[in-house]
Chains A and B, each alone.
Chain A
Amino acid sequence: MNAQANKPFTVVGERLPRYDGADKVTGKAIFGPDVALPGMLHGFILRSPHAHARILSIDTSRAEALPGVYAVVTAADLPPAESTDHRYAHDNTFAGDKVLYVGHAVAAVAARTPPIAEQAARLIEVEYEVLPAVTDVLEAMRDDAPILHDDMRTHSLAGRGDKPSNVASHFQQLKGDPARGFAEADVIIEREFHTATVHQGYIESHAALATWSDDGVLTVNTTTQGSFAFRDHLVWLLDLPMSKVRVIPTEVGGAFGGKNTSYLEVPAALLARKARRPVKITMPRPDVFLATGPSSGAFFRVKMGATRDGHITAAQAELCYAAGAYPGSPVGSGANVMFGPYVIPHGQVDGYDVVTNGPRVSSYRAPGGTPANFAAETVIDELAEKLGLDPIEFRLRNHAKEGDERIDGGTHGSIGGIEVLEAAQACDHYNAPLSGPNRGRGVAHAAWGNWGGRSSCTLSVNGDGTVSLVTSSVDLSGTRTTIAMQAAEALELPPERIRPSVGDTDNTGYADVSAGSRTTYATGIAAIQAAEDIIVQMEARAAALWDVPAERVTYARGVFASGTDQRFTFAELAEQVTGSGGSVSSIANVDVAEWGAGFSTHIADVEVDPETGKVTLLRYTVVQDVGQAVHPTMVEGQMQGGATQGIGWALYEGYAYNEQGQMLNANFLDYKIPTALDVPMIETVIVEVPYPKHPFGVRGVGEPPIVPPPAAIANAIYRAIDVRPTHLPMTPAHLLEKLGLIES
């Protein structure tokens, strides 16, 4: 623990009003679809109706001839691809020789009005040769499966495959000797699990507005998790100098990983360049489901063994993740989540990244973690049951501590998993009676790695003693408040003296995407470093004004002093320095290479109607180690929001495909996400095990709570009706099938 963390906090830990709150509740905040420019045209993207087809020809002449149409673009308007990854990005923007999923972009039109753009797009004639499609991950792995990419060979550290395959890559984690570990076990459980593709379900659609200046500078206003990532994507695909692309992020109405990836920006830029007018594209809701990046559907085989005294001896898992049309599923992070919290003496995890005829997957809050945890924690629960142990006690007996080796070969850093389990064990919910027929209580526990990464923060002292704070980290969830609070804490100023805002790629330093639960953590470190530098600079200015050595000047609680009767409040000194010698400002750029993992335990009470299979959540509690809660209300909101998304994953959500690879539920009527009517008030227990490498002890908060809900609910369902779900979502039909009341 460093010195800062031992200080009593004055700002950190307070439940303050959000800086962005008023604009958002009064409708003044500008989101992606709100941005407009004079003379702006409207874009529309023509998408494939087929899940897998060869493009034989594209005729855009009728669209181009329609009055009101200014530009039509296809893959032919993109610079040529220079590498395999480049080609995948290129082809996912506009299909090249094949379409690989329903919704795959084929062409785009810019026109005076949205209806004209859509009408023109429908006039584009595309001749297809329809090919067999495969949407299920296991079917895609079969030797006789339709092949999406003729040149794809399985990559693994064992070498490159020798024949075309939909298995893009295979990796393996191995620790010890699993065969020996299973031989030492008294109880072995082996199970298989299937989980559906799900979408992040953000309410704000994607929208991008592109404009070219006369000197060739491209400006894009867009809803994104990372303005620099989108700038780099535009540079990469359009072959432009970085200095000629500016990305301005709007407010974001939900992202959850789905806005890490650029979809509309390149088409809008191509259309705007061709039309010589600003072009805006807003994605219709069905396209959001069909053509953006959901999370993977997956298959798991899990085997675990333990001794009679409740110690795990071995664990083995196979994870097969559907990547959609191009490689890049989150199977790696799924593997790390699998047995993450526990000491596994002998373990093996094999992961497979598999292309399928669906949209290329993107990140979704703790990417890959939720389905992996469902599989592992269901088996953990069954092991505890077979051993006659309380499920939390079994987890505690096997929990990792700092310094323990993981299956992937790394070691655990400072973690609070045991403290979380103990808090769950002691909480009111876990100790409350639960009675009644068909009711059950389940628990699940999870580790999520979090992230650090690159961030930038600029602080500028104003003449009235306020401080402007600009970060390049897009604010998805209130992070401008939590970053400003850390700056205020470090500056020892009231939080209302800090004015935070989010900059763009032309006026701030580089930042990675706001993802991986990193923003409050890593950008907070940048803010603290900038604040510390501001204090040093202000002390030097005070020393100059007082004509004393700088080392004589001290600063505490907003007051500079020289050791005599010379004193300046922060505001008094600010007024003087900005009027003589120029303003004081500081920019801190960080690349945070270490971060603290987040652990969470969830407790779910359910009631299952054995005749209909309907699951009703009666009570739900989230217990989570957050390091130091910078803003407890927002932390609780993250815990509740993450749990609610996980509940959707558990009970309701899933892409439904027919045999032709057509998605049958690409709307919020048929793709159900949980609402306030579906979940009880989610109780929260904040555990604070400070992370020692953050000055205030902060850990990432946003992702861990989405991981355990399916397993917690599955384990509760088991105790309610004595069957163990093996599929997500755990629909009434799945439970009735498990109960033997219907056939699959």
Chain B
Amino acid sequence: MNHDSWREVSAMATVYIPSLMRDLSGGQDKISVPGKTVAQVIEALDAVCPGVKARVADGNHLAPGVAVSVDGVIARLGLRAPVKAGSVLRFLPVIEGG
């Protein structure tokens, strides 16, 4: 394994756990997990906190009414959105404008 691939594998993102999901995280409000996409982060989070995926995702999409922000920016690509090492993810309600 070269240095770059080692860094990729160990790249960790921080996920803020919404208050309504802290029953799954033992009360923790943030957890660091690896992943290069939102989907991978959710998979990794689900491995640590079983049940997370069922609440935030619906098949290949985010659950209805749920948005995700990566580093403060709403991820238009949803589960396919890229995540970098050190990224911060938050799950939010969908917002619209008029």
Contact = CB atoms under 8 A, between A and B. Distances in A.
A509 interface: no
B93 A331 contact: yes
Interface string B59-98: 0000111100100111010000000000000111111111
A257 interface: yes
Contacts of B63: 155
Contacts of A84: 64
B97 A363 contact: yes
Interface in A311-364: 327, 330-333, 335-336, 348, 351, 353, 363-364
Chain A interface extent, by class: 35 or more
A172 B18 contact: yes
Nearest to B74: A593
B20 interface: yes
Interface in A406-458: 408-411, 449-451
B3 to A, nearest CB: 31
Nearest to B98: A257
B76 A171 contact: no
Nearest to A591: B76
A450 B93 contact: no
A365 B97 CA distance: 7
B16 A256 contact: no
A594 interface: yes
A159 interface: yes
A185 B9 CA distance: 48
Interface in B26-73: 51, 54-56, 63-66, 69, 72-73
Given A84-B64, A172-B19, A157 B91 contact: yes
B72 to A, nearest CB: 6
A156 interface: yes
Interface string A562-602: 00000000000000000000000000000101100000000
Contacts of B90: 409-410
A116 interface: no
A145 interface: no
Nearest to B55: A157
A593 B96 contact: no
Contacts of B11: none
B93 A335 contact: yes
Nearest to B91: A157
Given A172-B19, A594-B73, A155 B64 contact: yes
A169 interface: yes
Interface string A700-718: 0001000000000000000
Nearest to B92: A408
Interface residues of B, number: 28
Contacts of B21: 157-158
Contacts of B20: 156-158, 170-172
A93 interface: no
B95 to A, nearest CB: 5
Nearest to A336: B95
B95 A260 contact: no
Contact of B93 (A158, A171, A410): A171
A170 to B, nearest CB: 8
A711 B89 CA distance: 34
A109 B69 CA distance: 45
A194 B77 CA distance: 37
B73 A363 contact: no
Contacts of B18: 157, 171-172, 174
A516 B64 contact: no
A170 B98 CA distance: 22
B23 interface: yes
A267 to B, nearest CB: 24
Contacts of B55: 156-159
A120 interface: no
A410 B72 contact: yes
B97 A518 contact: yes
Contacts of B56: 157
A366 B64 contact: no
Interface in A130-169: 155-159, 168-169
B93 to A, nearest CB: 3
Nearest to B88: A409
A451 B74 CA distance: 11
A332 B94 contact: yes
A517 B72 contact: no
A224 to B, nearest CB: 14
5 contacts: A157-B66, A330-B96, A366-B97, A516-B97, A703-B97
Can you list the 10 inter-chain pairs with the closest CB atoms, starting with the nearest?
A516-B97, A257-B98, A332-B93, A363-B98, A174-B19, A158-B20, A157-B20, A593-B73, A171-B93, A365-B98
Interface of A: 84-85, 155-159, 168-174, 200, 256-257, 260, 327, 330-333, 335-336, 348, 351, 353, 363-367, 408-411, 449-451, 515-518, 591, 593-594, 703
Given A173-B19, A174-B18, A260-B96, 18 more contacts: A158-B23, A158-B55, A159-B54, A169-B64, A169-B65, A169-B93, A171-B93, A172-B20, A257-B98, A332-B92, A332-B94, A333-B95, A333-B96, A363-B98, A366-B98, A449-B97, A591-B76, A594-B72
